[in-house]
Amino acid sequence: MKRLLVDIEPNGFFWQPTGSKLDSFIQKIDLDLEYVNLLLGYDSMKQWGTTDVFQFFGRDTLDRLRSGNLVLCLDATLEGFGPDEVPIARSLSASCIANNIDPKNIFFFTGNLAHRSEEINVVPLFLLTALYSTARVQVSLECAKKECEKNYEKFILSLSRRNRHYRVFAHFYLAHTDLLEHSIVSQDRLDNFMMPSMVYSKLGLTVNDFENFKKSLPFIADEDNFNVNDPANALHELHSKTLFSIVNETLQDDLKGTTLFFSEKFLKPIINFQPMVMYGHPGVNRKLADLGFKTYEDYFDLDFDDEPDHILRYKKLVESVKSTVDYLKTLNRTEQIAWRFKSMEVLEHNNKVMYDLDNSYLTSMKQLVTSLLMH
């Protein structure tokens, strides 16, 4: 397939990139078709579903879409929006009907691995490994062990750059357990943050506890640069200082089973050969297997993962982690480091899958897209 740049008016819904990871994938599909690749915009999220998005296209482009000689691809592979929360597929389908365009010539590539649609072609795709595909971030297992032996300080690494509500609840609770003294935590200030009242009763904490928590911030893991987003930084030094990570994912609500999204955050421990537990969607720890990874039952009791309430799920995660920490306290430093690397098969498998995932996953997606286009 060959990429085509077309006439599109500036708008807040999408824009044409000069190139992307998705482009390299689509161009490997052996079909004599041209396509337009659009990256998702953010300015008009609340307007999806109420706007004819084809109003921004030039007449020639619309004619080619109607003829079936052009395929439209919308790239949202870095996001996990739910189909009801941000109804992109529904909006594209309605816009197709309004403009006499076959919806089956429209492809919505999304990072929401649970997204399904009968309206247009929805292709769930995990492409975030591209952030770490360069040699500069790769480390060997032996190197990771040596760095840990040299730098190891604490049991737990728990990071948060943006003050998403879920992560604030989590660190507020973590800070009121004895796990905090065994943790390296990053948490920005909360000057204008309002805590919902129901959270206090679920966490067993008070408004006064939260005010004191805010006064104790920031927690600085490495640098006080919370406004800088560097997703491609694998944070080798922080992982070498700790035994395992609590990965605070981007989304914790699966929106009644319609959303499953993995951000780049869970890849950082994998790159550094470090075990982890994830605070994300219900069941997210075991759903790593959906991407070909092995899960971490050798290290943690993952029963907390099934709790549907996200606040109670984090409390149960902390109980699981506390059991692990209580065990680690009985070991000396050398034994603690050996615990981190005890399941080398899991750590090595996940590291290999992380670097091989693009090829294996894109091959299956290539077959899917080809079959949809030929249908």
Q: What is the pLDDT of residue 43?
A: 82
Does the domain formed by 133-355 have CATH 2.40.10?
Answer: no
SS3 content of the chain, % helix, strand, coil (to 5): 45, 15, 40
pLDDT for residue 357 is more than 70: yes
Q: Where are the domains of the chain?
A: 2-125, 133-355
| DSSP-derived 3-state class of residue 339 | helix
pLDDT for residue 135 is more than 50: no
pLDDT digits (tens, 9 = 90+) for 294-313: 999 999 999 999 999 999 99
pLDDT classification of 364: cutoffs 50, 70, 90 = confident
d(CA 329, CA 325): 6
Count how many residues are written for the chain. Answer: 375
Q: What is the pLDDT of residue 138?
A: 74
Percent of the chain whose predicted confidence (pLDDT) is above 70: 97
d(CA 133, CA 37): 22
Q: What is the pLDDT of residue 133?
A: 66
d(CA 375, CA 371): 6
